[in-house]
Amino acid sequence: MSNNKCVFCEIIKGTIKSRKIHETEHSIGILDAFPLKEGHCLVISKSHKSKIQDLSPQENNDIFSNLHFLTEKIERAMEASSALISIHNGKDAGQEIPHFHIHIIPASQSRKNRPIHSLFDKKDIKSEELDENWRKITAEIQSS
């Protein structure tokens, strides 16, 4: 998908209407046009990059500072005691629009919410497999 066809790029340019709630140097917060719950918002990177690791450290700092700021405001405005924060980091993780964004979905005790583990088919991973996964990840970190 090229930048001129990306719905988030068009929102950032102002060619598609959005309900903007807050803007910073590297991100914009909007009300989701297709909300899962009342108050469902997005924090969107202003640069057209699909994954968190594609963003510069400055972009990441700005986006997560905006997320921190907006989460409290959204929870308070929606009279929610909590919020689900969700990032689909790439197509295989369920990202529908290949442009980095974070979902903020207000949650309260009166609404039915489920833990993230209930959203997936769990695989029974043995202790040896966990150890192998740990070795692979730590080796990758140490090699950088």
Domain hosting 20: range is: 3-142
Count of residues for the chain? 144
Three-point CA angle 119, 22, 92, nearest 5°:
30
Stretch among 8-22, 31-45, 109-123 having the lowest mean pLDDT: 109-123
Q: What is the mean pLDDT of residues 38-52?
A: 97
Q: State pLDDT tens for residues 67-119.
A: 999 999 999 999 999 999 999 999 999 999 999 999 999 998 665 666 666 66
27's tokens: 């991100």
In this prediction, residue 2 carries a pLDDT of 46
| Residue 113 pLDDT | 67
β-bridge mates for residue 86, sequence order: 103
**Nearest Cα to Cα of residue 29 among 17, 45, 15:** 45
* Alpha helices for 24-143 (secondary structure H): 57-77, 127-142
Contacts of 58 (CB under 8 A, 6+ apart): 26
pLDDT at 116: 66
Query: Structural domain tally of the chain?
Result: 1
Tokens of 75: 């929870």
CB 30 within 8 A of CB 19: yes
Q: How far apart are CA 82 and CA 113, in angstroms?
A: 10
Reported pTM? 0.86
Cα–Cα distance measured from residue 77 to residue 40, given in angstroms and rounded to the nearest whole number: 11
According to the model, what pLDDT value does residue 144 have? 80
Which stretch of DSSP H or E encloses residue 73?
A: helix 57-77
Model confidence at 49, pLDDT cuts 50, 70, 90, reads very high
What is the pLDDT averaged over residues 19-48? Answer: 96
- Confidence tier at 1 by pLDDT (50, 70, 90): very low
CATH classification at residue 111 = 3.30.428.10
Closest CA to 22 of 7, 45, 53, 43: 43
| pLDDT (0 to 100) of residue 125 | 85
